[in-house]
Amino acid sequence: MDFTKARARMVHAQIARRGVSDSRVLDAMREVPREAFISAGFEEFAYEDSPLPIAEGQTISQPYIVAAMAAAADIAPGDRVLEIGAGSGYAAAVLSRLAGMVFAVERHQSLTEAARERLAALGYRNVQLMTGDGSKGWPQEAPFDAIIVSAGGPRVPQALKGQLKLGGSLVVPVGESHDQRLKRIVRSGETSFEEDDLGAVRFVPLVGAEGWPARDETKPVPAKPKILAQMIGHAAEPLPAFDDPNFGRLFDRFGHKRVVLLGEASHGSSEFYRARAAITKRLITEHGFTIVAVEADWPDAAAIDRYVRHRVARAGEEVPFQRFPTWMWRNTDVATFTEWLRRHNEKAPAPCGFYGLDIYNMRGAIAAVLSYLDKMDPEAAAIARERYGCLTPWQKEPSVYGRAVLTAGYRKCEEEVLRQCRALLEKQFEYDDGDEFLDAAQNARLIATAERYYRIMYYGGAESWNLRDSHMFDTLTHLLNSRGDDAKAVVWAHNSHIGDARQTEMGSARDELNIGQLVRERFGQDAALIGMGTHCGTVACASDWDGEMEIKRVRPSRDGSYERLCHDSGEPRFLLDFAHDPALARRLMEPLLERFIGVIYRPETELQSHYAQAALSRQYDAFLWFDETNAVEELGPEHRGEGVPDTYPFGV
């Protein structure tokens, strides 16, 4: 197979367009056949933008990284270059096109021999290889004009610094595997060096005297990781602490989207809430997002919105989020975010609102519509009270409404609530007072949808689910339209809502759709769907609907699941961006089990209750992983600090 065109596309799209402009480096990348340096069976992925596994648990580096490191080393014709971590020999081959002589050290004898044979077969005569401790360099051939290290150590090895010529450059990754930084060290004097930070990277460990310790050979050899888990580990971008600005910066790549959907694998895990908050803050402050739309009831979220946008609270308004499951939004993580949003909106030229997409709080919605009409149009308010009368007995327990409408006495209720919704919307230009009308109109829509939802829920099936998610999508589009053509929204909801339903059992077996699917169909490339997952830990949940909140242990993920693959990657916290690693994305299209924990968690029947088949890289555009997570902390009176105003929305 001829890979010439694929190689040219790789150089143009993956390297030149990402900022590598050195023409000699680009020419070298076009010349060296990467397909000749990878393991059998991976040739079709040779020119994808990702590292690939080779023997001995090592990798062939991502093409962009090879090019970027070579460019950073500023190699001139005739230079003597040392490479540490030869691996397959690919990087040494690229360096050989730039330098006069390349000396490459590899600690695995089998890789050294294979690379030597491969380079000889391809005619690269100016490369010498040696098996040894790369952290010590190759003192017999020193000094070097440039040294490139393709493995990450705990610090810059002194031996390598000592083997640089004056003016020479050492390019080396430094740090723990989940937090490596690429450093460029330039020798400026006999004992003086200048250092630059070139950004975050991910490399295999540098093992040796000035690197990480080798594995204790007296201990049992662990089972060889699955290739797919290895690929996940290599593609994973480590996540820093939530309060580290670099956490939010990782998501600048999605800042140009119109809609960014942020999922969660459970409704009761703190890390998911904190991650969404950190990402959302960045999208608001740096990319102009002005809508935060959450999987919460509109009337409850409206109380939060009034608080964060410094609007007047509605008279007689109930404390929000009193319905089961209270911990889903009345928790310390959400409270911390809303306080931040309130402070942000004090000075923001375009304040960011907080809105609910869901349909459950029919009672609150009716109260909001009537309160609005009492102020704007008392006669219309009286008519609305009559129309909503058929729902009055069921406002507190709407789930039993479905049985009631089987009797003739309640069959006209749908007509009445729809008539009221239309009547309010027809008054838009007469009533329209911005936010207040939007709130009332959306509550009227909610009542109409909720009436139908509770009616059809009695029969079960996909229709009630589809109605609910369609309503959430419609609410989102109403919000975007109300804010204008440039409005951008962040959505917080469960993975089962924000992952494309067509790529799960929901769509393939149960004919269910969701907001993620509808957003993709409407906004296409202007949307990003980001899921989240975990292996184990604790979760806030209930055993039954309307049950007491419990803190339960999350069972370790099952073999054969995406979660187990992520766990087996060995990386504790990371981002997978499927657009950046097409080879991995293709592998993750294969349907596997994925875990979904809602407000109910039953570990004893976990496989049947909480796992479903999905195609991860089709379901989401990106995926966040937290190997161990902790339960959210429900908000209580003890969390109200001094000076918190009486208008504080959670009423604690």
Preceding omega of 222 cis (within 30 degrees of 0): no
Angle between helices 515-523 and 462-483 (to 10 degrees): 40
Quickly list H helices, 484-561. 495-498, 505-510, 515-523
Q: Identify the active-site residue in 21, 23, 39, 61.
A: 61
CA atoms within 13 A on the CB side of 390: 21
Region of 167 on the Ramachandran plot (φ > 0 left; ψ -120 to 50 alpha; else beta): left
- Residue 592 tokens read as 């596997």
CB atoms near residue 538 (< 10 Å): 17
Partner residues linked to 491 by β-bridges: 261, 293
Nearest to 239 by CA among 176, 333, 197, 284: 176
- Which two structure tokens, joined as six digits, stand for 20? 């590598």
**Can you tell me whether residue 459 is helix, strand or coil?**
coil
629 token code pair: 């997570």
SS (H, E, C) 243-297: CCHHHHHCCHHHCCCCEEEECCCCCCEHHHHHHHHHHHHHHHHHHCCCEEEEEEE
CB distance 584 to 231 below 8 Å: yes
CA dist., res. 437 & res. 425, Å (int): 9
**Residue 181 contacts residue 202 (beta carbons within 8 Å):** no
Cβ atoms 265, 272 nearer than 8 A: yes
CA dist 40 and 634 (Å) reads 53
| Whether residue 557 lies in the annotated active site | no
Coil/strand/helix, residue 110: helix
Instruction: Answer left, alpha or beta for residue 330, where phi above 0 means left and psi between -120 and 50 means alpha.
Output: beta
CA distances from 355 to 294, 300, 414 (A): 6, 9, 25
Distance between CA atoms of 341 and 149, rounded to whole angstroms? 44
Alpha-carbon dihedral 29, 35, 39, 45, rounded to 10 degrees: 90
Q: Which residues are catalytic, by number?
A: 61
